[in-house]
Amino acid sequence: MITASTFERKIDTCEGADRNMIASDHESHPDQFIEPLSYNQMNETACYLCGSESEFQVLFPGEKSTRELRPEHIAARKGSINKEFSYNLVKCNRCGLVYANPAPDADFLEQTYEQSDQGLYQDENYNIAWTYGRYLRRFAGLLNRRGVALDVGAGDGFFLQELIDLGFQNVLGLEPSAEACRRAKTGVSPFLLNQSFRESDFKPGSLDFISCFQTLEHLPNPDRIVAGFHRLLAPGGMVYCVAHNFASWSVKVLGVRHPIINAGHLTLFDEETLKAFFEKHFNVLAVFKIANRYSINYWISLLPIPEHIKRTLIGTLTISGLSTMPLTLSAGNIGLVAQKAIS
């Protein structure tokens, strides 16, 4: 259970953390049963990027009449349960953004993620942190200050150590999933809050850096989130975002069978649409395709092949000692680094 006192205590234990950057108290969100949603309980959604309400084409039609969206469809990252529900996925004719329409409301999503088991990539988190850190270091010289860094959707806090190593004085990760927070390593757990991102919890201009990895897809309105990041950053502050790339070759090949088309992802980006969200507010320094380092085991787990073949392959590689060897390839992720104007 998340309570105001939990939040306060966490901040107290952050060595040198600036309590003033927190602007408001939190309400308690006890575990509770969340009613499933039918299509007609979801909200018709204008394009998050350009605001168009009716100029879209349906890319993948949802199963409107029969299915309900249950919290477990959204919360699970492993297995195929999050493929059991499909949104009506549309593409805006004006700006090209791909998004779920209709979409569940923010309260449903927030409660769902609080009870979810996100952060299940734990075995690979060392490799993911290494990959994302490698790109950030190219831009670290442009950081105005290394005061307060916030990681939104921090999982088990895997990137917080990178931020500490980069010299930030205060680091804070926000993760709605209690299960992910419980898995945090001892060194970073004091800096991880079991809490959804809410702009109102922070004072405007109080942050120097925000990272947001594969999280923008899950949030109900990316435009509002990006605008909030801009308000929270100090002049010269930097934001680093990683998103799944809807324009990747693997999505073209697999279509609706691709793992990124699932009940958790309300918006799907490509390099142009991701950049367009941030260009409304920020100076975008770079948008780039990411080469991910994962173990060979993990790459095999991502392949769209039958489970028994995966198990055979991984078994063979384990015997030969190759299964944990790192391999760097593109997994269809895009990165973006942007900076708030100094004045």
Please give the angle made by the CA atoms of 309, 315 and 318, to the nearest 5 degrees: 140
Shortest Å, Cβ 273 to Zn ion: 8
**In this structure, what is the dihedral angle of CA atoms 220, 49, 128, 313, given to the nearest 10 degrees?**
90
Shortest Å, Cβ 96 to Zn ion: 7
Nearer to Zn ion, 50 or 327 (CB): 50
44: DSSP letter: P
Shortest Å, Cβ 164 to Zn ion: 39
Category of 337 on φ-ψ map: left (φ > 0), alpha (ψ -120 to 50) or beta:
beta
Structure tokens at 5: 């006192």
Nearer to Zn ion, 50 or 227 (CB): 50
Q: Which amino acid is at 82?
A: N
Q: Which residue bears the tokens 């947001």?
A: 212
Nearer to Zn ion, 222 or 264 (CB): 222
Shortest Å, Cβ 137 to Zn ion: 34
- Which residues lie near Zn ion (CB under 5 A)? 47, 49-50, 52, 92, 94-95, 97
Shortest Å, Cβ 99 to Zn ion: 9
Please give the angle made by the CA atoms of 192, 195 and 199, to the nearest 5 degrees: 110
Shortest Å, Cβ 93 to Zn ion: 8
Nearer to Zn ion, 55 or 123 (CB): 55
26: DSSP letter: -
The rounded distance, in Å, linking the Cα atoms of 343 and 340 is: 9
Nearer to Zn ion, 47 or 225 (CB): 47
Nearer to Zn ion, 50 or 247 (CB): 50
The rounded distance, in Å, linking the Cα atoms of 196 and 193 is: 9
Nearest of 39, 199, 232, 34 to residue 115 by alpha carbon: 34
Nearest of 51, 43, 47 to residue 87 by alpha carbon: 43
Q: Which amino acid is at 19?
A: R
Shortest Å, Cβ 52 to Zn ion: 5
